[in-house]
Structure 1
Amino acid sequence: MIKRYIQTKINHRVVEYNGVLYFGGLVADDKTKDMKGQTAEICAKIDALLAETGSSKDKLLTAMIYISDFDAKDGMNDAWLEWLPGDILPTRATIGVAELGKDTLIEIVVSAAK
């Protein structure tokens, strides 16, 4: 059975199937923050969505991270590792993109077990 959470105009924030939660891309609301700040804000959003859907960050399976500036990747990694202890890191890919929207430096897509 498919269960959908938090409908927006164009998607659902999370879709659940067979005990796996699939998240749509998340970006920071405060675009004045640097890469580390935007990453930390997104991680807090992921925490809230995980809690709302009955999961937690220790159940993350995979992450796709899109960044518009590879020179700022260290800031992203710093915030990521402050949020996630090393023993629960999911699989991850970081992909450089030309544009994510005005002043958006990073977008994160995750999947987690329920």
Structure 2
Amino acid sequence: MSVTYHDSNARMSQIAIHNGTVYLAGQVPADATADMKGQTEQVLSRIDELLEKAGSSKAHLISAQVWVTDMAEFDAMNVAWEAWIGSNNPPVRAALEARLAKPEWKVEIMIVAALANG
């Protein structure tokens, strides 16, 4: 089976598609001056864009990995997540505290989804 890559540079691809499954790179906020909720909303919006480009959507999520820089802000991240995901078929998810590549980032999210027509 072949792998298709999108939005690639010398370091990485933002999307990889293999065997009916979409893999997204970890997504971080564009505006790191926002609070945790705002940064999470930015990340989720970017995930929506990438999933659409890949031929999928949040309705087809399989799993999510969430990294936050401070578990004291975990609830604020979840406010944005729950508003975005809704209650229908949420994916399996892991969330943990980690130091991210840039200190101003509060959240990073990585997604695996099925293709909408797969």
Q: TM-score, normalised by structure 2?
A: 0.93
Separation in structure 1 between the aligned mates of residue 101 and residue 75 of structure 2, nearest angstrom: 19
| CA apart distance, 1:95 | 1.0
% same residue: 32
**Aligned residues between the structures:** 114
Gaps of at least 5 residues in structure 2 are none
Report the secondary structure of 1:13's partner residue. strand
Separation in structure 1 between the aligned mates of residue 46 and residue 100 of structure 2, nearest angstrom: 22
Report the AA paired with residue 98 of structure 2.
V
| 2:92 corresponds to | 91
CA RMSD in angstroms, aligned pairs only: 0.9
Separation in structure 2 between the aligned mates of residue 76 and residue 95 of structure 1, nearest angstrom: 12
Report the AA paired with residue 54 of structure 1.
G
Q: TM-score, normalised by structure 1?
A: 0.96
Greater mean deviation of Cα atoms: 99-108 or 35-44: 99-108
Greater mean deviation of Cα atoms: 6-15 or 18-27: 6-15
| 2:54 corresponds to | 53
Report the AA paired with residue 39 of structure 2.
Q
Separation in structure 1 between the aligned mates of residue 62 and residue 25 of structure 2, nearest angstrom: 14
Structure 1 residue ranges, 4+ long, deviating more than 2 angstroms after superposition: none
| 1:22 corresponds to | 23
CA contact (8 A) 1:68 1:100 kept: no
Q: 1:49 to 1:99 in 2, by over 3 A?
A: closer
| CA apart distance, 1:106 | 0.5
| 2:76 corresponds to | 75
Separation in structure 1 between the aligned mates of residue 42 and residue 16 of structure 2, nearest angstrom: 21
Separation in structure 1 between the aligned mates of residue 9 and residue 89 of structure 2, nearest angstrom: 30
Separation in structure 2 between the aligned mates of residue 39 and residue 9 of structure 1, nearest angstrom: 26
Gaps of at least 5 residues in structure 1 are none
Report the AA paired with residue 47 of structure 2.
I
